[in-house]
A and B are shown apart, each in its own frame.
Chain A
Amino acid sequence: MQNSFISKIKQKFISNPDLTFAFFLAITVYSYFGFSVEVFASHNLTFAILERFAVLGLIGLALTICIIAGEIDLSIGSNAALCAVIVVKLTDPIGAPLAIVIGLFISTGIGFIQGFFIAYLRVRAIVLTVGTLMLLRGISLVVAEEKTVMLTDFRVPDFITTKFFMYFSPASIMVIFVFILVGIFMRFTKYGREIYAIGGARKESLAAGVPIKRPMIIAFALSGFCAGFAGTVIGLKSGTAQGLGLQYLLLAGTVAAFVGGVSILGGKGGIIGAAVGALTVNFLNTGLLFYALQVHFVQLFTSVLLVVVIVFQTMSRIFDQYQSRKAFLESVDHRRENLLAKRDKFNLTNK
C-alpha cells in the first residue's frame, strides 16, 4: 500500500520534469540559506516568508494562468498599482471592505476588457498589454494625483498583519484560500480545462469545438483579479501606494511562474507549480536580505534564476525533440527493413 503510493508520486515526478526541477530549485535555495544563515529556519522568518508569499504568490498565480492560456500579461504590475492606489485612497472615506470590493471589481474589469479585446480582435496579448501597461500606469498616476497616497487610520494594516497560529496572518490565509479555489477551478471545472486546451493546442481545440473567446476572457479576468488582490494586500499592508510603484512585480512574478514549470508555449504548469515557484523566489529574496546587499543585487540574482530556468526548459525541449526524432528515424528504419525483407521474400517466391 505504502509502496504503491510512493511509486505513484515517483511516477508523477518522472512524468513532469519541470515540476521536479521546481522542487529541486526550491529545496536547493532553502537549504543553502538554511545552512548559511542561522535564523533562516526559525518561526518568525517562516512567518515573514509567508507574508511575502501573499503578494508574490498572487502575481505568480496571475501570470501562470495567462501563460497556461498561451499568452502573457505584461500589464500586471500597473494593474496591481492601480488597484493599490484606489483601495488606499478609498479606505479612509468609505471603509476598507467596500474599498476592497471596488478595487477588485475595477481590476477584474480591466482584465475582462483586455481578454475581450484579445479574444475578439485576435491581437496577441503581449501587443495589447504593452499598451495597457503604459495606459494603466498613467491612469493610476492621475488617480493618485502624482502623489503618494497614504492611510491616516492604521487599524486596517495592523489587522491584516496580526499573527495567527504562529505562521499565518489574515492576508496569507486569504491568499492560500484563493490559491486553493483557483486550483480547483483550473483542475476540475470545464472552464478551467478549456483554458488549458486553448493554451496547449489552440488549433486542435478550435477544431474540437472549444470556444476560444470564453476561456480567454476568463483567464484574463482571473489574472486581473489576482493582480488586483496583490495590489490590495501590498497597499493595505504598508498603508501607502504610488502610481509609479510595483513595476518590479512583473519580473518577480514571471520568475515565479517560470520556476513553477509553466511553458511559454502554453498548456503546461499548474497551481502547485506556481506556489512552489513563488516560494523559491521568496526564499531567495529573504535570504539575500541577510547579506545586506543593495536592491539591485536582488534583481540581479532573481534574473539569474530566471535565466537558469529558461536554459533548463530550452535544453529539455531540445532534448525531447532530439529523442522524438531519434525514435521516429528508428521506426522508419524498422519499417524499411521490414519492407526490404518482404520484397526479398516476394522475389524468392517468384523465382
Chain B
Amino acid sequence: MQDLISSYKKNLLLSILLTFFVLLFLYGIFATNNYFTWFNFKTIIRDAALYGIMAIGLTFVTLSGNFFLLSIKETAAICCVSFAMGMSTGYGVESWVGSFPISLLVTLLIGCLAGAAQGLFIGLGGNPIVVTLGGAGILYGIATWWTDNLVISFRRPNDAEWLGTGSFLGLPTITWSFILIAILAEFVLRYTNFGRKVYLVGSNRAAGKATGHENLSMAIIVCTICSALCAFVAVAFAAQMSSAQANYFSAEFGSSGDMTILVIATVMVGGNSIMGGYGNTIRTSIGAIFIAMIDNMMVLNGLNSGPRIVGVGLMIVFSILVFALYAKGSRAQE
C-alpha cells in the first residue's frame, strides 16, 4: 500500500490521467441509464474489437519508430471490396463464387502487398506520413475503380457468416479474435526475437543500424503486419454487412467519422510513445476499450456527432499533452 501511494505520487501526471478516466467511468455507471449492463458491455467490446485489431497492427509500426500509417481506412476499404468481390463474383472464376477461403486468401494477399509496398518506400527513407498519404489516395482510387463505387453485396446464407455475425460462448467471433490477436501480438513483442528487434529499432535507430538491424526490412514487416490486420477487420466487417463499398470506412464510423484517426487515437490514448520503442499492445487494447466506453456513454446520453468528435479529440489532445509533460526531459522524445 505504501509503495502504491509513493509510486502514485511519483507519477503524478499519469495518475491524474488515470483518476480522470476512473471518475468518468464512475459517472457513466451512476448517471447513465443502461450503461452498466452485460448487453452494453458486449456492445462496447464489440465496437472496440473492430478498431482495436487495427490499432494492434498499428502498434507494431509505432513501436518500430515509423510513427503511423495514414492509409489504414483505405487499406481496409480495398480489402473489404476485394472480399465482397470474391464472395459475389469469384474474381471471374465460376467455381470460386462464394468460396470463403479463396476470398480470404486473396484479400489478405492484397492487404500484405499494399503494406509491403508502403513499407518499402518508408524503409528506403521516405517519411511515413507522406508515403502513406500518397498510398492512401492510390488504394482508395483503385478500390473505387474496381467497383465503380457501387455497393457489392452477396447472398445471406454464405460461408462467411460465422465470422461476421456468429458468436461463441456468448461473445461475438470478432471479440474472440480481438482477444486472441492481442495475446498473440503481446507474446510476439515480448518473447520472440522479432519483437525485441522491433523495440530496438524503435528506441534507437542508430544503434539498431550499427548492430545490423536495418529499418528497411523492419519497416516492410511491420507495415505488412498492420495491413494484414486491417484486411482481417475489413473481411469481418464485410461479412457482417454481407456487402461492401469503398467508402464504408470513410463514412461515419464509431464516433469520429474517420477510421484512420480513430485508430491512431487508440494507440495514443493507450499511452504508447509515438516516437517508438516504448509501449505494448495491452495499452493499445485498453485504449480501444476506453474510447469505445466513452463513445458509448456519449451515445447513451443522446449527444450528436459534433460533441462526440470533440470529446474523443479532447481525449487525444489531453493524453498527448499529459504524456509529453510526463516524458519531458527524458530521451524518449528526442
Contact = CB atoms under 8 A, between A and B. Distances in A.
B67 A126 contact: yes
Contact of B309 (A124, A138, A144): A138
Contacts of A117: 321, 324
A282 B149 CA distance: 25
Centre residue among B134, B136, B268 by max chain A CB count within 10 A: B134
A251 interface: yes
Interface stretch (A100-108, A174-182, A193-201, A292-300): A292-300
Contacts of B121: 307, 310-311, 314
Contacts of B265: 130-131, 134
B134 A121 contact: no
B137 A138 contact: no
Contacts of B67: 126
Contacts of A296: 140-141, 144-145, 149, 246
A310 B264 contact: no
B305 A146 contact: yes
A121 B325 contact: yes
Contacts of A302: 137
Contacts of A121: 321, 324-325, 328
A141 B312 CA distance: 13
Interface string B127-166: 1011101111110111011000100000000000000000
A306 interface: yes
Interface stretch (B182-190, B194-202, B253-261): B253-261
Contacts of B308: 138
Interface in A125-151: 126-128, 130-139, 141-142, 144-146
A235 interface: no
Centre residue among B261, B274, B317 by max chain A CB count within 10 A: B317
B313 interface: yes
Nearest to A300: B141
28 contacts: A72-B127, A121-B321, A121-B325, A124-B275, A130-B264, A130-B265, A130-B268, A130-B316, A131-B320, A134-B316, A135-B314, A137-B313, A138-B309, A139-B306, A142-B310, A243-B306, A254-B130, A258-B130, A296-B140, A296-B141, A296-B145, A296-B149, A300-B138, A303-B137, A306-B130, A306-B133, A307-B121, A307-B131
A69 to B, nearest CB: 14
Nearest to A122: B333
B139 to A, nearest CB: 9
A250 B138 CA distance: 15
Instruction: Tell me what chain B mostly uses at the interface: helix, strand, loop, or mixed.
Output: helix
A297 B129 contact: no
Contacts of B134: 251, 255, 303-304, 306-307, 310
Contacts of B140: 296, 299-300
B256 A134 contact: yes
B274 A127 contact: yes
Nearest to A299: B137
B211 to A, nearest CB: 21
Contacts of A243: 306
Contact of B333 (A124, A134, A251): A124
A264 interface: yes
Interface in B50-91: 67-68
